Amino acid sequence: MSPGLRRLYMPRPVAVEADAGGRPVAVEGVAVEAIREEWLLEDRWWTLKPMRRHYFELALADGRDLTVFRSAVSGRWYRQRA
Amino acid sequence: MEIACALLGEDTLALDSVEIAERTERALRELEGIGAAVESERPGEVFFALDGLRGLHGGDAAGVLRAARAAIGAAVRIASGPTRFDAWLRASGRRAPVPVSALAGRLGVSEREGAELTAALRRLGIETLADLAALSPDRIADRFGPVGLRALRLARGEDDPPQPRAAHEELAADLELPEGAAGAQLDRALELLVDRLLADPRRRGRTVLALRLGALLSAGGSWSVDQGLARPTASALALRSVLGPRLEALPGPASSLRLRALSLGPRVGDQLELSLRGEEHRRRRLGEAIREVRAAQGGEALLEVLPLDPRSRFPERRAVLTPTAPSR
């Protein structure tokens, strides 16, 4: 990326507790009230650095609406404005 | 066809041109109120056809003339005849033999040209309309051309039928001026008048085709000017820019200003000049502000969102932040 350019909506690491099925139950200690929507994104599967994300749009107990995803490649959780 | 001519009373002679025009306009509207299709080519004078009005007002011409007289109210002389010219002769009290000088102002040319023609006729011994009517068109055409033929037609009782104006509502705005108003105060007054005129609900979104700007002068008397527009508009800016220079012709301090829409056009929402100017103004001010901030805070101080792939499923691919271009 050119100097001076900054990407918007970059994923940020976040602490998520998930149940046995891999579905979030708390984000940074705040309980998940509901999963509004979930979807899968896959890209670059033909390269050595494939992208595979499992997104969840969550309603948290404190009223926030938050979108998180789990990277199937790294196994880490991220939040992201979607 | 029978034509009626209404001449506003003798007292109008004592009035100035603006007041006569105002009275004429009132008379036109009153006559339109009784169903007449009116024509008025000069202040103080109105023509209308009686055909079609008899059934509304007593069944005969006398009934229509009575209704017209009652509608106008003020001192008015009304008479009817087979042509406009004949009706005018009767209303103005002329009786046969009518001198050719009566034609002077009725030939569709300037008063001076009309007077020259009638003077030439009299030099040739043609004193009355009857004398003129007896001459052959060829002789008149040879000697006096189209104006002479027009005079001959009138003398022979031939005339074009009235061409009535399109009936319209009164759309005008008045403003009293403070004593000694001039310069910027007049400009501000004109701005208010234009805004009031355009805000009048009777305009119903229609554009303006022609305007009359008038003033009552502090020293007595009045002044007015008619202004046609190159294209129909309802833009306050366009009207002000056209009327503003006309105010410079005001002969003296005015006690009030009046703006009247003489003719209305189709409905159009044409505020383009305003919006374009506003956009340009905004862009220029924004450019100046950006230059100032960049000079004070550095090139990275101002960023803008640059869309890359707005519909990407991966949010981080949709847009980037980039320093605002100096030229913006």
Per-position DSSP letters for B208-250, written without gaps between them: EEEEEEEEEETTS-EEEEEEEEEEEE--HHHHHHHHHHHHTT-
Asked if B313 reaches chain A (Cβ–Cβ under 8 Å), the answer is: yes
Q: Which residues of A touch B294 (CB under 8 A)?
A: none
Lateral strand order in the sheet of B303-307: A6-7, B319-323, B303-307
Alpha helices (H) in chain B, listed in sequence order: 17-33, 61-72, 84-91, 111-123, 129-133, 137-155, 184-199, 236-247, 272-297
Asked if A11 reaches chain B (Cβ–Cβ under 8 Å), the answer is: yes
Strand partners for B321: A6, B305
Q: Does residue A6 lie in a domain region?
A: no
Asked if B187 and B177 touch (Cβ cutoff 8 Å), the reply is no
**Per-residue pLDDT in tens (0 to 9) along chain B, 328 residues:** 889 998 887 655 566 666 777 788 888 888 888 888 888 888 888 999 888 888 888 888 888 888 888 888 877 889 999 999 999 999 888 888 899 988 888 888 888 888 889 999 999 899 999 999 999 888 888 888 888 999 999 999 888 888 887 666 678 888 888 877 777 788 888 988 998 888 887 777 778 888 999 988 888 888 888 888 877 888 888 898 889 888 888 888 888 899 998 877 777 654 444 455 567 777 878 888 888 887 888 777 788 888 888 888 889 888 888 877 655 4
Domains of chain B and any CATH numbers = 3-155 (no CATH), 172-267 (3.30.1490.100), 272-323 (no CATH)
In a mutagenesis test of the A interface, which of B302, B303, B313 is the best target, namely the one with the most A β-carbons within 10 Å?
B313
Taking the model in full, what pTM does it have? Answer: 0.47
Asked if B304 reaches chain A (Cβ–Cβ under 8 Å), the answer is: no
3-state SS, chain A, equals CCCCCEECCCCEECCEEECCCCCEEEECCEEEEEEEEEEEEEECCCCCCCEEEEEEEEEECCCCEEEEEEECCCCCEEECCC
What local confidence, expressed as pLDDT, does residue B272 receive?
46
In a mutagenesis test of the B interface, which of A1, A5, A39 is the best target, namely the one with the most B β-carbons within 10 Å?
A5
The two three-digit tokens of residue B99, written as one number: 């001198």
Asked if B251 and B217 touch (Cβ cutoff 8 Å), the reply is yes
The two three-digit tokens of residue A40, written as one number: 């899968």
Regarding predicted confidence, which is higher, A13 or B227? Answer: A13
Domain count, chain A: 1
Q: Does residue A3 lie in a domain region?
A: no
Find the domain containing A67 and state its range.
Answer: 12-79
For B322, which of A4, A10, A11 is closest by C-beta distance?
A4
What is the C-alpha separation between A48 and A51, in angstroms, rounded?
A: 10
Asked if B318 and A8 come within 8 Å (Cβ–Cβ), the reply is: yes
